[in-house]
Structure 1
Amino acid sequence: MIDPALTSDPGRPVWATRGMVASGQPLATAAGLEMLLRGGNAVDAALAMAAVTSVTMPEMCGLGGDAFALVYDARTRTVTAFNGSGPAPLAASVERYRAAGYTEMPFEGWWSVAVPGAVGVYLEMHARYGSLPLEEVWAPAIRYAREGFPIDARLAANIAAGADKLAQDPAAAAVFLAAGSRPRPGTILKNPDLARSFEQVLAEGAEGFYKGTLARRIGEASRAAGGLLTAEDMAAFEVEVYRPLVTTYRGYRVFETAPPSQGLILLEMLNLAEGFDLSGGSPTDPDVVHLLVEIKKLAFADRNAYLGDPRFVKAPVEKLISKAYAARRRQDLDLRRANNAPSGGDLDGDTTSFVAVDGEGNAVSFIHSISALWGAGVMVPGTGFLMNNRAGRGFVLSEEHPNGLAPGKRTMHTLNTYLVTRPQSHDPEGPEGGHPQPAAPEQGAGSSRHDAGRPSGDGELVLVGNTPGGDGQPQWNLQVLVNVLDFGLNAYQAVAAPRWTSFPGTDPINLKAPLELRLESRFPAETAAELLQRGHVLRGIGPWAAGGSAMLIRVLEGGVYEGAADPRDGGVALGF
Structure 2
Amino acid sequence: MGRRGMAATSHPTATLTAINILQAGGNAIDAAVAACAVQCVVEPGSTGIGGDCFVLMAKGGSDQVLAYDGSGRAPAAATLDWYREHGFSEIPRQSPHAVTIPGAVEAWATLVKDHGRLPLAQLLKPAIDLARDGYVVAPRAAADWAGQAALMAKDEPTARVFLPEGRAPLAGEIHHQRELAATLQAIADKGASAFYEGAIAQDMVDRLRELGGLHTLEDFRDANGGYVTPIRTRFRGHDVFECPPAGQGVIALMILNILSGFEPGDDPLSADRLHIEIEAARLAYSVRDAVLADPSQSDVPPDWLLSEELAAQLRSQIDLKQAIKELPSFAPTEVEHADTVYISVVDGDGMAVSFINSVFHPFGAALVAPKSGVLLQNRGQGFVLKPGHPNAIAPRKRPLHTIIPGMMLRDGKVCLSFGVMGGHYQAMGHAHLISKLLDYGLDLQSAISLPRIFPRPGQTAIEAEKTVPAAVRAELERRGFVFTAPGAAIGGGQAIAIDPVTGALSAGSDHRKDGCALGW
Question: TM-score band, normalised by the shorter chain?
Answer: over 0.9
1:549 counterpart residue number: 492
2:471 counterpart residue number: 526
Q: Distance in 1 between matches of 2:165 and 2:118?
A: 36
- Quote the offset at 1:397 in angstroms: 1.0
> 1:104-143 alignment to 2 at 5 Å?
104-143=90-129
Q: Secondary structure at the match of 2:148?
A: helix
Amino acid at match of 2:372: T
> 1:182-197 alignment to 2 at 5 Å?
182-197=168-183
Pair 1:407-2:395 in alignment: yes
Q: Distance in 1 between matches of 2:485 and 2:154?
A: 35
Q: Distance in 2 between matches of 1:172 and 1:238?
A: 27
TM-score (norm 2): 0.95
Go from structure 1 to structure 2 and tell me whether the alpha carbon gap of 1:164 and 1:522 turns closer, same or farther (over 3 Å shift): closer
Alpha-carbon displacement from aligned partner over 1:478-528 (angstroms, at most 9, x marks no partner): 111111011000011010011111113xxxxxx6xx431122222222211
For 2:408, which of 420, 425, 428 is the aligned residue?
420
Alpha-carbon displacement from aligned partner over 1:186-245 (angstroms, at most 9, x marks no partner): 211111111111111122223332233322322222222321111111122221212211
TM-score (norm 1): 0.86
Alpha-carbon displacement from aligned partner over 1:142-179 (angstroms, at most 9, x marks no partner): 11011010112223223322222222222222211113
For 2:363, which of 359, 374, 399 is the aligned residue?
374
Pair 1:322-2:265 in alignment: no
Please say if residues 148 and 191 of structure 1, whose CA atoms lie closer than 8 Å, have aligned partners that are also in contact: yes
Pair 1:502-2:455 in alignment: yes
Q: Distance in 1 between matches of 2:290 and 2:170?
A: 45
Q: Distance in 1 between matches of 2:292 and 2:161?
A: 38
Q: Distance in 1 between matches of 2:477 and 2:144?
A: 34
Amino acid at match of 1:553: I
2:84 counterpart residue number: 98
Go from structure 1 to structure 2 and tell me whether the alpha carbon gap of 1:410 and 1:16 turns closer, same or farther (over 3 Å shift): same
For 2:193, which of 196, 207, 212 is the aligned residue?
207
Q: Distance in 2 between matches of 1:312 and 1:297?
A: 26
- Quote the offset at 1:75 in angstroms: 6.7
Amino acid at match of 1:361: G
Q: Distance in 2 between matches of 1:546 and 1:202?
A: 35
Give aligned pairs, total: 512
Question: 377-386 or 49-58: which moved more?
Answer: 377-386
Pair 1:151-2:137 in alignment: yes
Please say if residues 68 and 227 of structure 2, whose CA atoms lie closer than 8 Å, have aligned partners that are also in contact: yes
For 2:383, which of 395, 406, 411 is the aligned residue?
395
Please say if residues 465 and 490 of structure 2, whose CA atoms lie closer than 8 Å, have aligned partners that are also in contact: no
Please say if residues 162 and 168 of structure 2, whose CA atoms lie closer than 8 Å, have aligned partners that are also in contact: no
Q: Distance in 2 between matches of 1:310 and 1:175?
A: 37
2:275 counterpart residue number: 290
Amino acid at match of 2:495: L
For 2:421, which of 444, 447, 468 is the aligned residue?
468
Q: Secondary structure at the match of 1:550?
A: strand
Q: Distance in 2 between matches of 1:551 and 1:485?
A: 17
Q: Distance in 2 between matches of 1:180 and 1:222?
A: 24
Q: Secondary structure at the match of 1:138?
A: helix
Q: Distance in 1 between matches of 2:175 and 2:275?
A: 45
- Quote the offset at 1:53 in angstroms: 0.5
Unaligned stretches of 5+ residues in structure 1: 1-14, 424-458, 505-510
1:267 counterpart residue number: 253
Go from structure 1 to structure 2 and tell me whether the alpha carbon gap of 1:515 and 1:143 turns closer, same or farther (over 3 Å shift): same
- Quote the offset at 1:474 in angstroms: 1.0
Please say if residues 244 and 250 of structure 2, whose CA atoms lie closer than 8 Å, have aligned partners that are also in contact: yes
Question: 372-381 or 198-207: which moved more?
Answer: 198-207
Alpha-carbon displacement from aligned partner over 1:102-159 (angstroms, at most 9, x marks no partner): 2221111212111111111111110111112222211111110110101122232233
Please say if residues 518 and 546 of structure 1, whose CA atoms lie closer than 8 Å, have aligned partners that are also in contact: no
Q: Secondary structure at the match of 1:420?
A: strand
Please say if residues 120 and 191 of structure 2, whose CA atoms lie closer than 8 Å, have aligned partners that are also in contact: no
Please say if residues 521 and 541 of structure 1, whose CA atoms lie closer than 8 Å, have aligned partners that are also in contact: no
Q: Secondary structure at the match of 2:192?
A: helix
CA RMSD of aligned residues (A): 1.8
Over the matched positions of the two proteins, sequence identity in percent amounts to 37
Amino acid at match of 2:285: F
Q: Distance in 2 between matches of 1:418 and 1:566?
A: 16
1:479 counterpart residue number: 432
Go from structure 1 to structure 2 and tell me whether the alpha carbon gap of 1:541 and 1:235 turns closer, same or farther (over 3 Å shift): closer
1:489 counterpart residue number: 442
For 1:243, which of 223, 226, 229 is the aligned residue?
229
Q: Secondary structure at the match of 1:558?
A: coil
Unaligned stretches of 5+ residues in structure 2: none
Please say if residues 29 and 115 of structure 2, whose CA atoms lie closer than 8 Å, have aligned partners that are also in contact: yes
- Quote the offset at 1:264 in angstroms: 0.1
Amino acid at match of 1:561: L
Q: Distance in 1 between matches of 2:319 and 2:369?
A: 51
Amino acid at match of 1:359: G
Question: 155-164 or 471-480: which moved more?
Answer: 155-164
2:157 counterpart residue number: 171
- Quote the offset at 1:540 in angstroms: 4.5
1:357 counterpart residue number: 346
Q: Secondary structure at the match of 1:45?
A: helix
Q: Distance in 2 between matches of 1:539 and 1:221?
A: 39
Q: Distance in 1 between matches of 2:12 and 2:166?
A: 24
Pair 1:216-2:169 in alignment: no
Please say if residues 50 and 102 of structure 2, whose CA atoms lie closer than 8 Å, have aligned partners that are also in contact: yes
Please say if residues 501 and 518 of structure 1, whose CA atoms lie closer than 8 Å, have aligned partners that are also in contact: yes
Please say if residues 436 and 447 of structure 2, whose CA atoms lie closer than 8 Å, have aligned partners that are also in contact: yes
Q: Distance in 1 between matches of 2:280 and 2:514?
A: 30
Q: Distance in 2 between matches of 1:117 and 1:182?
A: 27
Alpha-carbon displacement from aligned partner over 1:247-303 (angstroms, at most 9, x marks no partner): 11111110001111010001111111111121x433211111001111111111111
1:560 counterpart residue number: 504
- Quote the offset at 1:94 in angstroms: 2.5
Amino acid at match of 1:362: M
Please say if residues 58 and 385 of structure 1, whose CA atoms lie closer than 8 Å, have aligned partners that are also in contact: no
For 1:300, which of 285, 301, 305 is the aligned residue?
285
Alpha-carbon displacement from aligned partner over 1:312-357 (angstroms, at most 9, x marks no partner): 1111111111233323332222232211431159xxx921111111
Q: Distance in 2 between matches of 1:16 and 1:282?
A: 30
Pair 1:339-2:324 in alignment: yes
Go from structure 1 to structure 2 and tell me whether the alpha carbon gap of 1:260 and 1:16 turns closer, same or farther (over 3 Å shift): same
Q: Distance in 2 between matches of 1:159 and 1:328?
A: 43
Q: Distance in 2 between matches of 1:143 and 1:250?
A: 46
Q: Distance in 2 between matches of 1:537 and 1:483?
A: 24
Q: Distance in 1 between matches of 2:61 and 2:364?
A: 38
Amino acid at match of 1:333: I
2:372 counterpart residue number: 383
Question: 402-411 or 15-24: which moved more?
Answer: 402-411
Alpha-carbon displacement from aligned partner over 1:442-482 (angstroms, at most 9, x marks no partner): xxxxxxxxxxxxxxxxx201111102111111111111111
